């Protein structure tokens, strides 16, 4: 040992060299005093997949791409990576990006603060060297040279990963991309110089919602250049078996929602899928950037006393205004009372110009009662003939196709806090056309049978009904020559 160097400094140097070699998981274990294995009693520790990702990041080519289900601990791992690069290298640049401000600041940045607060309890002197703000995480004494910064990834502003080079033998760049499946390819193209630098560490993580794009390619045609990983909720001790079973019951194990949100697998690219999952996720991501436009319309799919739910959706031309609302086990007049209270509790200027209600079954009485109370009710019988009789088999098929077009135009917003709505929209398929070429969409009972799920996709049905306001709707199933298709029923 060099007599001019104190044992404390030597110990610290040895610790940093170990962390460099093993990656952020070893740092987390020693710095934050976490068990090396997950402890079911304390609900703390490092998972096997986090060790794998950590060691892969520390080795060439320093690129890790993680596709995962919900809640497996990827935000914690990404936060450890930020601490790791700032402690083990100098100077450092760490641009962190995600499709929305919520994903980068409310999730990853909040996770950084959580671990910084923990460090303050363990090593307050070391913790004092870091400075956390709403969009920056810096080493105080080297704030102009070593920092992490939060940047939203937008196609119209593709510089999120630009200008992040660090120079010097101990320098490093860490590129963090959260929810990478939704980041536009132009972001990666603009930042390609950083991504290919020898001193760059790159971590991408996401629920794998798309079967195309840079993140998808990192698990497929570019796999040789990446350490690609799949982390299933079924293998993570952080995710309860109840969540897995609830998702299976709600959407079916064969659904793309279950594949993406639970298994961490890319969706199947079924050509007969009505609305792909990635389109719905993109619609959620752009919700906050849209300007409200057009009349407000509510859609209500009422249910009786059974397992199915009475669902309510509110939207205007630009976006769904709030997460859906549901009630279970209500009789018809109780549903009517629920909708009437919603109306009374809404500011007059925010009330809908139309409330579209499925008038099949108990919906007829509900619509009639609400009309008596003066509400602007549109009774919709989805088994009627469509307005475009040459293209669609029945009105329900036409309305669902309108939902599809609305989402696909990429000018619409689904509420970011309503994954139930997104999940239900993505389980429908369009069926082989009729003999005369008309479009058909799966009925609710057909979806339940195919996916082996208990409840109907009532929330998706409520959103579909809102599009009846914009479609010419006849006044009854036998109105004029508009006869319903033979043998048609819909639960």
How far apart are alpha carbons 264 and 209 in whole angstroms?
A: 9
> In terms of Cα–Cα distance, which of 202, 213, 133, 144 is closest to 173?
202
| Domain edges within the chain | 7-241, 277-470
> In terms of Cα–Cα distance, which of 161, 282, 152, 286 is closest to 213?
282
For residue 308, report the phi and psi dihedrals to the nearest 5 degrees: -70, 160
* Whole-number pLDDT of residue 125: 93
- Of the chain, the percentage scoring pLDDT greater than 70 comes to 89
Q: Could you tell me which residues are beta bridge partners of residue 95? A: 149
Could you please report the per-residue DSSP string of 85-151?
Answer: HHHHSSSEEEEEEESSHIIIIIIIIHHHHHHHHHHHHH-HHHHTTEEE-SSEEEEGGGTTTSEEEEE
- Read off the pLDDT band of 164 (50, 70, 90): low
Q: What b/e string do you get for 173-197 counting C-beta neighbours within 10 Å, with b at 16 or more? A: bbbbbbbbbbbbebbbebbeebbeb
- Read off the pLDDT band of 409 (50, 70, 90): confident
Average pLDDT over residues 383-400: 93
Average pLDDT over residues 307-325: 94
* Whole-number pLDDT of residue 30: 95
* Whole-number pLDDT of residue 433: 82
What is the largest distance, in Å, between two alpha-carbon atoms of the chain?
101
Number of Cβ atoms within 10 Å of the Cβ of 252: 20
Domain 7-241: which topology? Answer: Rossmann fold (3.40.50)
Has residue 96 got a pLDDT over 70?
yes
- Of the chain, the percentage scoring pLDDT greater than 90 comes to 67
Angle at 193 between CA 189 and CA 194, to 5 degrees: 100
Return the axis-axis angle of helices 7-22 and 74-88, rounded to nearest 10°: 130
Average pLDDT over residues 199-226: 93
* Tokens found for residue 288: 């906050």
What is the number of residues in the chain?
Answer: 491
How far apart are alpha carbons 175 and 469 in whole angstroms?
A: 47
* Whole-number pLDDT of residue 206: 96
Residue 396 host element (H or E): helix 395-408
84 DSSP assignment:
H
Q: Is the dihedral of CA 237, 229, 100, 233 positive or negative?
A: negative
Average pLDDT over residues 186-192: 80
Has residue 84 got a pLDDT over 60?
yes
Has residue 485 got a pLDDT over 50?
no
Average pLDDT over residues 303-330: 92
Pick one of 3.40.50.150, 3.90.1170.50, 3.30.420.240, 3.30.2130.30 as the CATH number of 277-470. 3.30.420.240
Q: What is the Rg, in whole angstroms, of the alpha carbon atoms belonging to the chain?
A: 26
Q: Picking from 172-181, 190-199, 468-477, which range would have the lowest pLDDT averaged per residue?
A: 468-477
How far apart are alpha carbons 205 and 231 in whole angstroms?
A: 10
pLDDT higher for 451 or 143?
451
* Tokens found for residue 197: 């630098």
Highest mean pLDDT among 99-108, 149-158, 464-473 belongs to: 99-108
The overall pTM is greater than 0.75: yes
Spatial contact of 275 and 441, defined as CB atoms under 8 Å apart: no
Kindly report, residue by residue over 341-366, the tens digit of the pLDDT: 999 999 999 999 999 999 988 999 99
Average pLDDT over residues 258-280: 90
* Whole-number pLDDT of residue 305: 73
* Whole-number pLDDT of residue 486: 42
Mean pLDDT of the chain: 88
Q: Is the peptide bond before 61 cis (omega within 30 degrees of 0)?
A: yes
Q: Which residue has the tokens 């070391």?
A: 126
How far apart are alpha carbons 181 and 160 in whole angstroms?
A: 15
- Read off the pLDDT band of 140 (50, 70, 90): confident
pLDDT higher for 170 or 221?
221
Kindly report, residue by residue over 272-286, the tens digit of the pLDDT: 889 999 999 999 999
* Tokens found for residue 133: 């703000």
* Whole-number pLDDT of residue 265: 96
- Read off the pLDDT band of 195 (50, 70, 90): low
Average pLDDT over residues 324-353: 96
* Whole-number pLDDT of residue 435: 82
Q: Is the peptide bond before 91 cis (omega within 30 degrees of 0)?
A: yes
């Amino acid at each position: 040992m060099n007599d001019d160097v104190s044992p404390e400094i030597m110990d610290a140097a040895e610790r940093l060299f170990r962390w460099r070699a093993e990656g952020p998981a070893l740092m987390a274990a020693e710095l934050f005093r976490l068990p090396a294995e997950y402890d079911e009693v304390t609900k703390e520790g490092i998972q096997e997949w986090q060790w794998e990702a950590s060691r892969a990041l520390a080795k060439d080519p320093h690129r890790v791409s993680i596709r995962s289900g919900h809640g497996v601990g990827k935000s914690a791992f990404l936060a450890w990576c930020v601490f790791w690069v700032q402690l083990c290298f100098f100077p450092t640049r760490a641009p962190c990006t995600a499709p929305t401000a919520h994903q980068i600041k409310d999730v990853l940045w909040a996770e950084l603060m959580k671990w910084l607060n923990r460090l303050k309890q363990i090593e307050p002197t070391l913790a004092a060297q870091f400075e956390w703000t709403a969009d920056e995480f810096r080493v105080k004494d080297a704030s102009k040279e070593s920092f992490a910064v939060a940047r939203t990834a937008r196609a119209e502003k593709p510089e999120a990963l630009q200008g992040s080079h660090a120079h010097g033998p101990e320098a490093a760049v860490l590129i963090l991309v959260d929810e990478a499946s939704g980041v536009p390819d132009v972001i990666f193209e603009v930042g390609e110089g950083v991504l290919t630098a020898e001193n760059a560490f790159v971590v991408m993580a996401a629920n794998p919602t798309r079967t195309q794009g840079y993140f998808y390619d990192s698990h497929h045609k570019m796999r040789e250049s990446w350490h690609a990983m799949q982390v299933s909720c079924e293998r993570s001790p952080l995710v309860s078996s109840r969540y897995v079973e609830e998702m299976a019951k709600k959407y079916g194990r064969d659904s793309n929602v279950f594949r993406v949100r639970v298994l961490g697998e890319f969706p199947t690219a079924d050509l007969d899928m009505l609305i792909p999952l990635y389109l719905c996720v993109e619609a959620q991501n752009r919700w906050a950037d849209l300007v409200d436009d057009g009349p407000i319309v509510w859609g209500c799919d009422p249910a009786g006393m059974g397992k199915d739910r009475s669902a309510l959706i509110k939207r205007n031309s630009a976006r769904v205004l709030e997460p859906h609302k549901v009630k279970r086990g209500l009789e018809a007049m109780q549903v009517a009372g629920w909708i009437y209270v919603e109306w009374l509790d809404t500011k007059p200027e925010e009330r809908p110009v139309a409330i579209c209600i499925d008038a099949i079954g108990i919906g007829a009485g509900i619509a009639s009662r609400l009309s008596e109370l003066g509400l602007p009710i549109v009774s919709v019988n989805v088994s009627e003939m469509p307005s475009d009789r040459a293209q669609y088999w029945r009105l329900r098929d036409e309305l669902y196709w309108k939902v599809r077009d609305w989402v696909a135009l990429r000018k619409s917003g689904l509420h970011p806090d309503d994954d139930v709505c997104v999940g239900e929209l993505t389980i429908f398929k369009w069926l082989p056309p009729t003999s005369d070429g008309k479009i058909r969409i799966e009925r609710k009972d057909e979806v339940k049978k195919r996916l082996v799920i208990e409840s109907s996709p009532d929330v998706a049905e409520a959103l579909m009904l809102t599009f009846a306001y914009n479609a010419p709707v006849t006044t009854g199933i036998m109105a004029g020559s508009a006869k319903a298709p033979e043998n048609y029923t819909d639960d």
